[in-house]
Amino acid sequence: MRDAFLRFVRHKPALVGLVLLVMVVIAAAVASLLYPGDPFRIVGKPFQPPLTDFPLGTDMLGRDLAAAVFYGARTTLLIGFAATLIATVVGVTIGGLAGYFGGRADALLMRLTELFQTIPFFLFAILLVAVLGSSIGKIIFAIAVVSWPPMARLVRGEFMAMRNREFVQACVSMGMGHARIIVVHILPNTLSAIVVTGSLMIATAILIESGLSFLGLSDPNVMSWGYIIGSGRSVLRTAWWICAVPGVAILLTVMAINLVGDGLNDALNPRLRQL
Amino acid sequence: MSGDSPLLRIEQLHVALPPWADRPFAVEDVSIDLYRNEILCVVGESGSGKSVMSRAVMGLFASRHVRPTGGRILLDGENLLEATHERLRAIRGNRVAMIFQEPMTALNPVHRIGRQIEEVLEIHRVGTPAERRARAVAMLEAVNLPDPAKILAAYPHQLSGGQRQRAMIAMALALEPDVLIADEPTTALDVTTQAQILALIRDIQRKKGMGVIFVTHDFGVVAEIADRIAVMQHGKLVEQGDAREVLSQPQAAYTRSLLAAVPSLTPGPRRDFAGNPVVLSVKGVTKTYRTGGGFFGTSARRVDALKGVAFDLRRGETLGIVGESGSGKSTVARCITRLIDSDSGRIEIDGKDIAHLGTRALRPLRRRMQMVFQDPYGSLNPRRTVGQLVAEGPIVHGTPAAEATRRAVELLELVGLDARSASRYPHEFSGGQRQRIGLARALALEPEILVADEPVSALDVSVQEQVLKLIADIRTRLGLTVLFITHDLRVASQVCDSIAVMHKGEIVEYGAVADVYANPRHDYTRTLLAAVPGRAWSEAQSPASAN
């Protein structure tokens, strides 16, 4: 584990990504300290460009864009991490059971997974939000529902490969139960693949959330980056910064997460890049 | 032979390893001459630098960090280490050819055999397409492959291991090279196939008058084929000389220890178990593998892995199951330990049939029968400490954790490891040490029966000897009944009391080791015994081989 940490620290792009990500987390943490009160509050004249009275300008209703971006970071991170966590738990459980038991259980669980994969994931997310409504919990649920199948497939493959390894057979011949073999012996060996895929899944979750709120399907009571872009798109030519500021925030966050994910991949799977 | 100037001269060769390796040089100050019309065997254990040395002649290095840093490799006076890439390309295949250990990976799986042989000729611009084809056919005939036309049109996966190695040899010999480098060419093959390939290499080498560098770890093979021997250890040459002299009067201490570690073919003293009760009785066990078939109307393939296998094992006895790959010997072990389910037949422990018990009913019985696996790298979970690995079995069966941990340390000491090993991870140990850990883990459950599936096949000969001694010692101390699966008749003769020879899913011969080795009744047993490399040498070595 120490080796993995050192490999990660030596990976320059991953460090850059980590620094960016930490900045986003800090932004989310200090949002209510820097901007007490409601981010939807009107604070000044509308359509003020950045670096005038307000550092990032105001939108068409005169709301402070800087406050919106700071509060948006909260929503984005919350949705990204929560949706990924749920999707990972579901994906690992289904993929793990399918890969470990094989046969009929595998066939059944994989057909279920494929059923989810046949529907384009973004359309599926729109459909779910449209049906369920758009509170933040329901958005997290919708994103989790469309994101778990790739994780399930990956974990299934890993488990199938591990199932026939001699150390697992040794466990069987010692008389261990299935639960112990899965949790204590196989899962830790697949953890690096899960962590890497999970980290990249956060970026996808953030993009889905942004897309949903851009389409006006997000929680109207919660400030998010996609929501700002969605509301500013009609004035893109006259007030470009309303879209640009949260757009750049999304870009940097997603890039940061991808860089960290790549760094984790290199750190945890060193065999891929030996010599 | 020694009057000529050497065909290939390696002078003070140094090959450096990257700074993070465990030693500075893979090959250090090695000087060897290879003459026309001789087979020079380079012998050593894993990590001795024998492969690196032989590949350096071809200019093949494992990575850009492994580079020659000194010395010369002279082929007819030309230094190959200083040759340009173009020059090396002209020499490779043409003057110096190479055959590898694993013909399946050394052949390109997507091209037909014929095309791959012709390609060698094409690269060196030899003949017209028709002539190349004729040459390919002639080469396949020369390596005794039946029906060359069919082989030419075949893909590598359609051939057996022995056929593939023959095709590789045909390819290497297509341009009649002066020097052939053979890097463990028979290690991946079954013993009977190995004997044929060794005879073939010998035969072709004589006919063409080639110089052959034959890299191997197996002194049996050396005794079979070598004219001269070079022994390597830790990248250095420890001894070289005429084969007969090195084998009968080794000078270096290391060579002596290596030779002493080669298991003899003479069985040890006979032990009598006739009075002991039968602990494991296997009756008419069958297993059939079915693959493919069904969905797209393709025909299913049926492989009868076991056809009515039966034997009895008495308390304290060690039964060896020997056979070549595909004989079903590992399937037997896995059926008995219930890692796979047999189709029919009975597997009785103390008279109780376990072949058809459910998972739950089986669990308490599992501890009475434990397994040691072949692969010392794959059989230990890399994420658990050695102490956890050994203590886990008893904990699962209800022993308090503290007691299991204390016992694990005792067991590690029993198998010759330090008590401190308990807190370390498997990757910190060598292959032999890991096999000891695997043994400790199996013993932790205090089994009555130990099933060992090729436990020493992946180990170097000196380590193999130690592990075999350990198994024999623990077996007598704990009164264990052992089922010992191996492909190696030498190993079997050292540890087994009785032996079952398996061939195509059947036990063709079954009896006390000394009887079977002295008077094999079945043709297949005779073939197998005759194919053991270095048999004549072994028998000359041991005075006890009277029968």
Q: Would B449 be classed as within a structural domain?
A: yes
Q: What is the mean pLDDT of chain A?
A: 87
Q: What is the pLDDT of residues B3-19, one digit of tens each?
A: 568 899 999 999 998 88
Interval A203-209 mean pLDDT: 90
Q: Would B167 be classed as within a structural domain?
A: yes
Please give the structure tokens belonging to residue B256. 């002596």
Interval B45-50 mean pLDDT: 87
Residues spanned by the domain of B519: 315-342+352-541
What CATH architecture applies to the domain A2-273?
A: Orthogonal Bundle (1.10)
Option in A166, A167, A180 nearest B396 (CB): A180
Per-residue confidence band for A31, with pLDDT thresholds at 50, 70 and 90: confident
Q: What is the distance between the alpha carbons of residues B240 and A70, in angstroms, rounded to a whole number?
A: 76
Residue B292 is predicted with a pLDDT of 59
* Angstrom distances, CA of residue A218 to CA of A60, A61, A212, B493: 19, 19, 6, 76
pLDDT at B244 over 80: yes
The backbone torsions φ and ψ at residue A75, rounded to the nearest 5 degrees and listed phi first, read: -60, -50
Interval A108-129 mean pLDDT: 92
Residues of B with Cβ-Cβ distance to A189 under 8 angstroms: 381-383
- Mutation target vs A (from B360, B390, B396; most A CBs, 10 A cutoff): B396
Option in B338, B383, B392 nearest A188 (CB): B383
pLDDT at A157 over 80: yes
The backbone torsions φ and ψ at residue B335, rounded to the nearest 5 degrees and listed phi first, read: -70, -40
Q: What is the pLDDT of residues B91-107, one digit of tens each?
A: 888 889 998 887 777 88
> Final residue of a domain: which of B124, B158, B176?
B176
Q: Would B23 be classed as within a structural domain?
A: no
The answer to whether A36 faces chain B, any CB pair under 8 Å, is: no
Please give the structure tokens belonging to residue B205. 């080498």
Please give the structure tokens belonging to residue B264. 């003899």
Q: What is the distance between the alpha carbons of residues A19 and A30, in angstroms, rounded to a whole number?
A: 16
Q: What is the distance between the alpha carbons of residues B317 and B442, in angstroms, rounded to a whole number?
A: 18
Instruction: Decide the pairing of beta strands B352-353 and B481-486.
Output: unpaired
Q: Which of A170, A181, A171 is nearest to B453 (CA)?
A: A170
Q: What is the distance between the alpha carbons of residues A168 and A185, in angstroms, rounded to a whole number?
A: 7
How many CB atoms lie under 10 A from the CB of residue B544? 10
Residues B171 and B319 in one domain: no
Residues of B with Cβ-Cβ distance to A107 under 8 angstroms: none
Per-residue confidence band for B296, with pLDDT thresholds at 50, 70 and 90: low
Q: Would B277 be classed as within a structural domain?
A: no
Q: Does B190 or B387 have the greater pLDDT score?
A: B387
Interval B351-362 mean pLDDT: 88
Residue A95 to chain B, least CA–CA distance (Å): 21
Domain count, chain B: 2
Residue B223 is predicted with a pLDDT of 92
pLDDT at B312 over 90: yes
b/e burial code for range B139-166 (CB count within 10 A of at least 16 → b): bbebbebeebeebbebebeebebbbbbb
Q: Do A170 and B375 touch (CB under 8 A)?
A: no
Instruction: Decide the pairing of beta strands B369-372 and B278-291.
Output: unpaired
Residue B382 to chain A, least CA–CA distance (Å): 8
* Angstrom distances, CA of residue B435 to CA of B157, B395, B408, B429: 32, 21, 15, 10
Q: Where are the alpha helices (DSSP H) in A38-135?
A: 65-101, 103-117, 121-132
Q: What is the distance between the alpha carbons of residues B522 and B500, in angstroms, rounded to a whole number?
A: 12
Which 3 state secondary structure label does DSSP give B520? coil
Q: What is the pLDDT of residues B258-270, one digit of tens each?
A: 998 888 888 888 8
Residues of A with Cβ-Cβ distance to B369 under 8 angstroms: 173
Residue B38 is predicted with a pLDDT of 94
pLDDT at B210 over 80: yes
Q: Do A167 and B380 touch (CB under 8 A)?
A: yes
pLDDT at A269 over 80: no
Q: Would B46 be classed as within a structural domain?
A: no
The CA angle B409-B460-B499, to the nearest 5 degrees, is 85
> Final residue of a domain: which of B137, B161, B176?
B176
Q: Do A167 and B370 touch (CB under 8 A)?
A: no
Q: Do A174 and B63 touch (CB under 8 A)?
A: no
Q: Which of A18-32, A260-274, B124-138, B427-441 has the lowest mean pLDDT?
A: A260-274
Q: Among all residues of chain B, which has the CA nearest to that of A180? A: B396
pLDDT at B298 over 60: no
Q: Among all residues of chain B, which has the CA nearest to that of A175? A: B363
Interval B278-300 mean pLDDT: 76
CATH number at residue B488: 3.40.50.300
How many CB atoms lie under 10 A from the CB of residue B496? 25
Residues of A with Cβ-Cβ distance to B380 under 8 angstroms: 167, 170
Q: What is the distance between the alpha carbons of residues A117 and A111, in angstroms, rounded to a whole number?
A: 10
Per-residue confidence band for A274, with pLDDT thresholds at 50, 70 and 90: very low
Residue A176 to chain B, least CA–CA distance (Å): 6
Residues of A with Cβ-Cβ distance to B445 under 8 angstroms: 174-175
* Angstrom distances, CA of residue B17 to CA of A272, B66, B85: 21, 5, 22
Residue B300 is predicted with a pLDDT of 64
How many CB atoms lie under 10 A from the CB of residue A231? 20
- Mutation target vs B (from A3, A166, A168; most B CBs, 10 A cutoff): A166
DSSP 8-state assignment for residue B87: H
Q: Would B82 be classed as within a structural domain?
A: no
Residue B49 to chain A, least CA–CA distance (Å): 19
Q: What is the pLDDT of residues A183-195, one digit of tens each?
A: 989 998 888 889 8
Q: What percent of chain B has pLDDT over 90?
A: 43
Q: Do A166 and B379 touch (CB under 8 A)?
A: yes
Q: Where are the alpha helices (DSSP H) in B30-81?
A: 50-57
Q: Would B432 be classed as within a structural domain?
A: yes
The CA angle B131-B201-B39, to the nearest 5 degrees, is 120
Residue A152 to chain B, least CA–CA distance (Å): 22
Option in A174, A184, A188 nearest B445 (CB): A174
Q: What is the distance between the alpha carbons of residues B463 and B132, in angstroms, rounded to a whole number?
A: 47
Interval A221-243 mean pLDDT: 85
Residue A65 is predicted with a pLDDT of 85
Q: Which of A31-40, B457-466, B473-482, B489-498 has the lowest mean pLDDT?
A: A31-40
Residues of A with Cβ-Cβ distance to B366 under 8 angstroms: 173-175
Residue B544 is predicted with a pLDDT of 45
Option in B375, B382, B397 nearest A175 (CB): B397
Per-residue confidence band for B410, with pLDDT thresholds at 50, 70 and 90: very high
Q: Write down the domain spans for chain A.
A: 2-273
Q: What is the pLDDT of residues A42-87, one digit of tens each?
A: 777 877 787 777 788 777 787 888 888 898 898 889 999 999 999 9
Q: Do B339 and A172 touch (CB under 8 A)?
A: yes
Residue B2 is predicted with a pLDDT of 46
The answer to whether A1 faces chain B, any CB pair under 8 Å, is: no
Q: Do B379 and A180 touch (CB under 8 A)?
A: no
DSSP 8-state assignment for residue B420: G
Residue A271 is predicted with a pLDDT of 55
Residues of B with Cβ-Cβ distance to A188 under 8 angstroms: 381, 383
Q: Among all residues of chain B, which has the CA nearest to that of A172? A: B339
Give chain B's contact residues with A (Cβ, < 8 Å). 63-65, 337-339, 362-364, 366-367, 369-371, 373-375, 378-384, 392-393, 396-397, 438, 441, 445
pLDDT at A96 over 70: yes
pLDDT at B301 over 80: no
Residues of B with Cβ-Cβ distance to A170 under 8 angstroms: 371, 373, 379-380, 438, 441
Interval A168-195 mean pLDDT: 89
Q: Do B445 and A185 touch (CB under 8 A)?
A: no
Note which residues in 62-121 of chain A have CB less than 8 A from chain B.
none
Helix%, strand%, coil% for chain A, nearest 5: 75, 0, 20
Interval B148-171 mean pLDDT: 87
Per-residue confidence band for B1, with pLDDT thresholds at 50, 70 and 90: very low
Per-residue confidence band for B295, with pLDDT thresholds at 50, 70 and 90: low
The backbone torsions φ and ψ at residue B520, rounded to the nearest 5 degrees and listed phi first, read: -65, 130
Start-to-end CA span in chain A (Å): 20
> Final residue of a domain: which of B176, B211, B239?
B176
Q: Would B155 be classed as within a structural domain?
A: yes
pLDDT at A275 over 50: no
- Mutation target vs B (from A2, A6, A167; most B CBs, 10 A cutoff): A167
Q: What is the mean pLDDT of chain B?
A: 88
Residue A48 is predicted with a pLDDT of 79
Start-to-end CA span in chain B (Å): 38
> Do residues B453 and B371 touch, judged by C-beta distance below 8 A?
yes
Please give the structure tokens belonging to residue A7. 């490999």
Q: Do B366 and A175 touch (CB under 8 A)?
A: yes
> Do residues A8 and A264 touch, judged by C-beta distance below 8 A?
yes
Q: Do A173 and B369 touch (CB under 8 A)?
A: yes
